[in-house]
A and B are shown apart, each in its own frame.
Chain A
């Protein structure tokens, strides 16, 4: 699953740690999501989307292998 989390984070100038604190996860989890090593749950994906004020599909997109 692809994601534009890093880009969205850069737009708002938020660090991984700050974003993790707001979402309620660890910084390593945000890092793992950005590196596409971890697929977040629906709740976390919705929380992230609400922080960036956009839809979940705009941040997370399926790949052909999914």
Chain B
């Protein structure tokens, strides 16, 4: 249907607003991590402050993800679809691993919350990294219909950031 968008994106203003929110609230998030003696809201303790700024930062990333680019053309749409796919796949694996190990082997269901939190956080971060990397570098294998090995042979360097990021995510899930 022409003009029909099942999930309409915000305008470009949303991306600027989201980036502003993310950067502004990242500073107190780091400060509260460093020092236990800072207080902003009297009714909240240090851990609650950290969590509050953490989720506000994620909201900023979500706003950025939910916004159009300055010029929203078909290339950007293809990259956005690929980025969401990659973010979903990369973050699903460690979350799946944590959920499986915690429920089947450890029977510690409290880790499910951490798996969900990691899924949300890493998904947003991976999306932002991959989306903007693709916009700038435009790896050729995005548009290559060959199999995984063909894509790897075609553009080895493009996989390097993704491999590094995947390793970091696995290490994060191990030391969570």
Contact = CB atoms under 8 A, between A and B. Distances in A.
Interface string B63-77: 000000111011110
B71 A26 contact: yes
A26 B76 contact: yes
Interface residues of A, number: 14
Interface in B94-137: 135
Interface in A1-58: 20, 24-29, 32, 37-41, 44
A40 B77 CA distance: 12
Nearest to A21: B71
Q: Is the interface of A mostly helix, strand, loop or mixed?
A: loop
A28 B135 contact: yes
Interface residues of B, number: 11
Contact of A38 (B69, B70, B75): B75
Given A25-B71, A26-B69, A26-B70, A38 B76 contact: no
28 contacts: A20-B71, A24-B73, A25-B71, A25-B73, A25-B75, A26-B69, A26-B70, A26-B71, A26-B73, A26-B75, A26-B76, A27-B71, A28-B135, A28-B138, A29-B71, A29-B73, A29-B74, A29-B75, A29-B76, A32-B75, A32-B138, A37-B138, A37-B143, A38-B75, A38-B143, A41-B74, A44-B73, A44-B74
Interface of A: 20, 24-29, 32, 37-41, 44
